[in-house]
Amino acid sequence: MSSLASCYKPVPAFVRVGFLFLGLAALSACSDLSTTQERVLSTAAIGAGVGAATTIMTGGCISCGTVIGGAVGAGAGYVYDKYEEGKLF
């Protein structure tokens, strides 16, 4: 039986640089967002991070925790934004 370390192959530098530029391009597309969109996006990212961290600590399905955390975060951000605008409650 082989260990996981023997299966690891280093990622070439051009692939890492490509992902870096792809990430920067994706972030630069967020410059014209409304306040609601910014709040929903940021709380979704926070929720995804918390969901991933929680499932790592508890030993659950990491991708499931990330998706659920992101969805809950996005929903919470939207509700909070509408509450701040006075359109809720």
- DSSP label at 87? -
What is residue 16's predicted lDDT score, i.e. its pLDDT? 80
This prediction has a pTM of 0.66
What pLDDT was estimated at residue 17? Answer: 84
Residue 72: CB atoms within 10 A of its CB come to 16
pLDDT digits (tens, 9 = 90+) for 57-76: 999 898 999 999 999 999 99
Q: Which residues of the chain have pLDDT under 70?
A: 1-8, 29-30, 89
What is the residue range of 48's domain?
4-85
| Structural domain count of the chain | 1
pLDDT of amino acid 87: 81
- Do 77 and 35 meet the contact criterion of CB atoms below 8 Å apart? no
